[in-house]
Chain A
Amino acid sequence: DVKVTQSSRYLVKRTGEKVFLECVQDMDHENMFWYRQDPGLGLRLIYFSYDVKMKEKGDIPEGYSVSREKKERFSLILESASTNQTSMYLCASSLGRGKDEQFFGPGTRLTVL
């Protein structure tokens, strides 16, 4: 079974803080993704990576950055957290070929005060 884990289930931070969200997958997947999910808006892609040290912007990259130094780990960084970044953050990974379905982690509910 593919397992995608995220460093925290719940996180509370203050405005202006730097926030790190970590994601690890254990199935040697090529692709990794960061989404945020808000009521009525669905899943929106922030950034994705198709290889180590490679990254591409998704639909809403503003205010975020990412890092992929190792194949299994993909980090999302909020350089200076703001209240409008309060959301559920979901990490996903996919093999990179064939059907290429995405497997999701359990999510991190981030609250920025």
Chain B
Amino acid sequence: GQNIDQPTEMTATEGAIVQINCTYQTSGFNGLFWYQQHAGEAPTFLSYNVLDGLEEKGRFSSFLSRSKGYSYLLLKELQMKDSASYLCAVRDWGDYKLSFGAGTTVTVRA
């Protein structure tokens, strides 16, 4: 994975919805991951997409379009504890390693 772009910061209100976009360029796509990282803590795995479409997991959903090199992470019914950095990462075919975007810091306000 190369050239992974995501917004630097987003702010939203408690109870609202936020969509974090991620675009990527890769020579041979083999999966896209979203991680959540609270300040001072390790990243934790949120979601994985390898086929086009929407994957839903509770309040969090992740979408992938391989032809557009595009994914988004949708956070619904935002809670204060969702304030964190969200990392988009892409794996190339035949590779073990991930390439990470710089992360999007989401701030949830009361």
Residue numbers of A with Cβ under 8 A of B are: 4, 31, 33, 35, 40-45, 48, 50, 58, 90, 94, 96, 99-107
Q: Is the CB of A58 within 8 A of B97?
A: yes
> Are A42 and B102 also in contact (CB < 8 A) when A90-B43, A105-B42 are?
yes
Q: Is the CB of B41 within 8 A of A106?
A: yes
Further contacts, 5 of them, CB under 8 A, given A43-B87, A101-B45: A41-B102, A101-B33, A103-B45, A105-B42, A107-B42
Q: Is the CB of B100 within 8 A of A42?
A: yes
Q: Is the CB of B48 within 8 A of A50?
A: no
- Give the chain A neighbours of B89 by CB distance below 8 A: 43
Q: Is the CB of A90 within 8 A of B42?
A: yes
Q: Is the CB of A48 within 8 A of B42?
A: no
> Are A100 and B96 also in contact (CB < 8 A) when A90-B43, A105-B42 are?
yes
Q: Is the CB of A33 within 8 A of B97?
A: yes
Q: Is the CB of A42 within 8 A of B103?
A: yes
Q: Is the CB of B43 within 8 A of A50?
A: no
Chain B contact residues, majority secondary structure = strand
Q: Is the CB of B102 within 8 A of A96?
A: no
8 contacts between A and B (CB under 8 A): A31-B96, A43-B43, A43-B89, A90-B43, A99-B31, A99-B48, A103-B45, A107-B42
Interface residues of B in 24-55 (CB under 8 A from A): 31, 33, 41-45, 48
- The yes or no answer to B12 lying at the interface (CB within 8 A) is no
Output the least CB separation between A6 and chain B (Å).
9
Output the least CB separation between B93 and chain A (Å).
13
Complex-state Cα separation, A42 to B103, whole angstroms: 6
Q: Is the CB of B44 within 8 A of A104?
A: yes
Q: Which of A48, A101, A103, A105 contacts B48 (CB 8 A)?
A: A101
- Give the chain A neighbours of B96 by CB distance below 8 A: 31, 48, 50, 94, 96, 100
